[in-house]
Structure 1
Amino acid sequence: MLSPAPAAVTSDPQQLVVAHRGASGYLPEHTRASYELAILQGADVVEPDLVLTADGVLVVRHENEIGETTDVADRPRFADRRTSKVVDGVVRTGWFAEDFTLDELRTLRAVERLPHLRPGSRTFDGAFALMTFDEVLDLAARSTTPDGRRVGVLAEIKHATYFSGLGLDPVPRLLAALDTRGWTTDDAPVMVQSFETACLRQVADGSGVRIGQLVEAGEVPYDLVVARDPRSPADLVSAAGLAAASRYADAVGLEKGLIIPRDPTGRLLDVTPVPRQAHDVGLEVFGWTFRRENRFLPLDFRVGTDPAAPGDLAGEIAVHLAAGMDSVITDHPDLARVPHPAAVPALA
C-alpha cells in the first residue's frame, strides 16, 4: 500500500492524493519545481510518465514527442530532428525523445503544455530542466509530506510496445532503477502503471511492486491492438475484464468518465457499476485526471463560462469519492486537500 493520506475532501484516511506530473496546474509538468511544489502542497504520491532517450535512459515526459513540453522548436541545433512517426498507430509530427541522447535533452528547458489555460505557469517557460526517472526517485526518497510521511511514486510506462520495437524495452530499465533502491516488494513506496497490459505483466513477473492498470474510455491498449485481441473497450471494464486485470494488478486507474459519465451537455449522470465491480475483485480505484479549470470540469461544478477560470474542483472530487473512487490523480494537489462539505450530491 502506498502511504495513506490524512483526511482531505473525504474523511477516509486511506484516500491518496496523487500529483499528476507534479503540481502541473501551477508549474510546467514533470519538472523538479513541479514535483517539489506538489510535495509541499501535501501530495502523498508524485506521478512521472516515462519515455526513453536514444541512449536508453528513462526520462519523465508526458509523451515521447517533446515539442509540446520543451523549447526544442527554438533550438536551431535540433531543427533537422523534426520528423513524423507512427506511435501506437497514430501519426505524430515533432521532436521525439528517442532521437536525443540524455546529454542533448539536458540542454532543453520545459515549457507549459497548456499555455492558453495556464498563463501563470507559462511565465516559467525556460526556467526548468528535464528530469530523469532516477532523479524523481531520489527526490521522493529524500522527501516527506508536510506531516512527516514518506512520498510515494506512481510511475507510468508510456508506449511500451513502441519503445520495445526500437530495441528500448522500458521494463528492465525501470526494474533496475527500483532494484537499486530496494523497492521490489508490495510495501515499497512505488506503484507502476500503464495503459498497456503486457508491460505490466512483465513488471509483475520481475518484481513484487504494486501495479495499476490504466483504462481510458473507448480505447483498447495498443499492445492488445497489435496482438489482435478481440476485447472491446467495454469488455475491459466489465466484471470479467476487471477480474482478469486483478490477476496481475492491485489497482485500476479509471478515466473519470468511467466512474461517472456525462450527458451531451456536460452534466454528470449516474454512477457506473465499474467502481463496485473493481472493488468486488479486490482492485483499488484511482480516478484521473482532476483539474480545476472549467474546461475540464463537468457542468455541475463549473463557475462562470470562461474555460480557463477555476471551478469547484473539490466538489467534483468529493462526488467521485462518494461514487467509489479510492484515490485521486490531480493537477492541483492542494485543492484535493481542501475540506469540503460532507453533503455530496447523490448520483447513484
Structure 2
Amino acid sequence: MPRRTPLVIGHRGAPGYRPEHTRSSYDLALEFGVDAVEPDVVFTKDHVAVVRHENEIGSTTDVADHPEFADRRVTKTIDGRDLTGWFTEDFTWDELATLRCRERLPKLRPRSASFDGAQPILRLRELLDLVRRVGLEQGREIGVVLEIKHATYFSGLGYDVAGLLAAELAAASWDAGQLPLWVESFEQTVLTQLRDRGIRGSYIYLLEAAGKPFDLVATRGLDAPTYGAQLAPKGLERLATEVDGISLDKKIVLGDRSGKVGPASVVAAAKALDLRVFTWTARPENAFLAGPFRRGRDKAAHGDWQGEWRMLADAGVDGVFVDHPDLGVEFFRSLAR
C-alpha cells in the first residue's frame, strides 16, 4: 500500500536545535520519530568516511582555535569554486577527532549555537550503528539517506569513493537491504559506481534549481547539461531508466523562481515515470521560506511554514528533508488523519 504522507527525513539530524551532524542532533531526530536521517559524507586524509556537510570545516568546527592546525588553512578549488579554509582530506581521523563541532548559522539559531564546542565529529560507521540500535530500541525500521559529497573532487585526489563507501556499508551490514537505505548525490556518476558494487538501496539523484552537475562538467565541459535540462521531459525519461528517484530543491517544487508560488508540474511528470521525488529543505524560519510565506522582518522568526509545507505535500512528494523533526513529524503525519 502506498504511503499517504511523505517520509520525514531528519536533515543532518535536527539542526534546528543542535549543531548539524552531531551525535545530539541525530539523537534528537531519532527521538522525535523521523523515518530516516540524512548524513553528508566526506573523507579524511587516511580515507575514513566522516559526517560533515562539506569537506571545508572552518565554519562547523573549532579548527580555527587550534594553533597546531593553523598552517592547514589553504585555498582550494572545489567543484569549480575557490574556497579558503580547512579541509577534511588534510587531516587524519585522529586529528579530526580532537576538534569540536559548532553551529553553522549562529545568528539564526542561537539556541543550537549554545551547544558549540561540546561534541566531536562523527564517523559514518558510528551513525550507521546508532540508527540500527535506536531502531531496535524503538521497535521500528529507521532509514539512512546517505549523501555523497564532492565525489569527482575526491576521486581526483585518488580516493575510490564508491569502493570506500561500499566497504563501510558492508562492514556495518547496511549493504544488502537489511535496513532502508537511500543513496543520493548531485553527481550521478558515483551513484552508478556504488550500485555497480552491489549495494542494495534506492539511488536518488539530487538536482539544484540552477547550475550543472560537476561530474558532467569535469567530463563534458561547456557541453554538460544543466540540472534544468535534466528535468525536461527527455531528461526525466533518461533518469527514469538510471536512478530510482530525484531529490529537488524546494524552489523547483514550489515553482517560485519567478516569484510566483505554485506546485511545479515536474513532480507529477517524474512520478508518472515511477521516479520517487524528495524535496529539500523544509525549514520554518523566514530566512528560508518562499516570499509569500514570510511573516515580518526577523529572519530567525518562524513564518507561515505550515502553508509552504502543505504546498510541498500537495505537490505529491514522497519525502521531505526537515531541520526541525518534531515539527516535520507532527505536520506531515497529521495530513493522514
Q: Normalising TM by the smaller chain, what interval?
A: over 0.9
Give yes or no for the alignment of 1:105 onto 2:96. yes
Aligned pairs for 1:258-337 (under 5 A) are: 258-262=252-256, 268-337=260-329
**In structure 2, what residue type is equivalent to 1:15?**
P
| Matched residue SS, 1:338 | helix
Question: For residues 288 and 17 of structure 1, what CA distance do their matches in structure 2 show?
Answer: 11
Task: Give the superposition deviation at 1:186.
Answer: 4.9
**In structure 2, what residue type is equivalent to 1:152?**
G
Question: For residues 38 and 317 of structure 1, what CA distance do their matches in structure 2 show?
Answer: 18
CA deviations over 1:209-255 (Å, ceiling 9, x no partner): 21110000112110000111442332111122122222231111000
Aligned pairs, how many?
Answer: 332
CA deviations over 1:66-116 (Å, ceiling 9, x no partner): 001000001111001000000111000000000000000000000000001
Conservation of the 8 A alpha-carbon contact between 1:53 and 1:98: yes
Question: For residues 179 and 247 of structure 1, what CA distance do their matches in structure 2 show?
Answer: 26
| Matched residue SS, 1:143 | helix
Task: Give the superposition deviation at 1:263.
Answer: 5.5
Aligned pairs for 1:1-348 (under 5 A) are: 12-144=3-135, 148-186=139-177, 188-207=179-198, 208-228=200-220, 229-262=223-256, 268-339=260-331
Question: For residues 284 and 83 of structure 1, what CA distance do their matches in structure 2 show?
Answer: 40
Structure 2 unaligned regions, length at least 5: none
Question: For residues 262 and 140 of structure 1, what CA distance do their matches in structure 2 show?
Answer: 35
**Judging changes above 3 Å, is the alpha-carbon distance between structure 1 residues 254 and 187 closer, same or farther for their aligned structure 2 residues?**
farther
**Bigger proportion of residues as helix:** 2
Conservation of the 8 A alpha-carbon contact between 1:54 and 1:98: yes
Question: For residues 82 and 235 of structure 2, what CA distance do their matches in structure 1 show?
Answer: 29
The two structures have a TM-score, normalised by structure 2, of: 0.93
Question: For residues 13 and 269 of structure 1, what CA distance do their matches in structure 2 show?
Answer: 24
Question: For residues 235 and 331 of structure 1, what CA distance do their matches in structure 2 show?
Answer: 29
Conservation of the 8 A alpha-carbon contact between 2:212 and 2:224: no
Conservation of the 8 A alpha-carbon contact between 1:30 and 1:131: yes
Q: What do you get for the CA RMSD once the two structures are aligned? A: 2.1
